[in-house]
Amino acid sequence: MQDGHFSIKSMAISSIAGSLLTLLMAYASGSSFAALPFPIMAVLAGFLITGILEGLVSRDVNLLEPTISAIVVSMVLYFALPALQLRGFQDMTTTLLVVILMNGIVLAALGGWAGEKLHGTIEYGVREEPVEWGWALCGIILGVTATMFTSSTLVIFLGFKLMEHFVAYLIGLALTGFIIGLRSRGIIFEEAGIAGFTTVVINVDIVCIALGMLELPVILSGLAIGIVTTYLGGWIGERVHSSRSPVPTRSATSFFGALMVPRSK
């Protein structure tokens, strides 16, 4: 496999272009509409375009570049949107903005993959994808299923208690990472991270729709702890898997992935 190399130039181009384009779309929509839905759609579309642009500009297959570009765009929007005081964003709270930006990062990663496909760097066997998207998607499905099942089952016996549901949510994420690590045939650190982050974002969306907006510290702590828990579950699953098959069929594609490879005796 030919690994993709991180390109600061392509990341910087897509970050600057994505920030300007997303701000322009947010300004146009926020100035034209007095309600949130359409300005939010404009912002999310800007994230998708940022990811696609990164995939088109980059010469290598690299998931890190569109992700960092999306984070840069998120930081710009976090400070710029409130400062612009557009009427379409008048009702937007800081917590809602953070949730929107979290969803934007997920969409930018998907856009990056689409851009790579359009560019042809992961087509016709030119280069192997650095991420097994099948396992990433499987992890997202497992994560959402496990967290929703554990939480909805727990509420039957204990009622709605935030701390107990948080523990059930972590158990579901750890189980997701463990299953991916156990069943995959390679080093899946990247897949576990994608599954963990996306599962947290989807869970936040579901809870906010069903119960109303959560507090910002709860969202941020759930995001950080959730990703780490999924990583930990994946690491344990990899260790169990490697004890049965010491040599992975897919090598690590990053420093973090290499940390999951057991040391040879």
pLDDT digits (tens, 9 = 90+) for 82-101: 999 898 898 889 999 999 99
Q: Which tens digits make up the pLDDT trace of 217-242?
A: 888 888 889 888 988 888 888 888 77
Chain centroid offset of residue 77 CA: 18
**Calpha distance 65→14 (Å, rounded):** 9
Distance, CA of 7 to CA of 83 (rounded, Å) = 31
Positive or negative torsion for Cα 123, 124, 129, 132: positive
The pLDDT of residue 155 is 67
Residue 37 contacts by C-beta under 8 Å, 6 or more apart in sequence? none
Q: What percent of the chain has pLDDT over 70?
A: 76
* pLDDT for 102 beyond 80: yes
CA atoms of 217 and 166, how far apart (whole Å): 13
DSSP state of 180: H
How much is the average pLDDT of 105-126?
Answer: 71
The owner of tokens 């997303």 is: 22
Question: How many C-beta atoms surround the C-beta of residue 72 within 10 A?
Answer: 18
Q: Categorize the per-residue pLDDT at 59 as very low, low, confident or very high, splitting at 50, 70 and 90.
A: low
Alpha-carbon span 250 to 103, nearest angstrom: 30
One-character DSSP codes across 57-101: H-SS--SHHHHHHHHHHHHHHHHHHHHHT-GGGTT--HHHHHHHH
User: Looking at residue 119, what is its pLDDT?
Assistant: 67
Place of tokens 């570049």: 65
pLDDT cut 90: percent of the chain above it: 13
* 146-168 pLDDT per residue, tens: 887 877 777 667 666 667 777 88
Compute the average pLDDT of residues 170-178.
86
pLDDT at 80 over 90: yes
Beta bridge partners of 186: 250
Is the pLDDT at 132 greater than 80? The verdict is no
Which residue type does 11 have?
A: M
Provide the 3-class DSSP secondary structure of residue 186: strand
Cα 164 to the center of its chain, rounded Å: 25
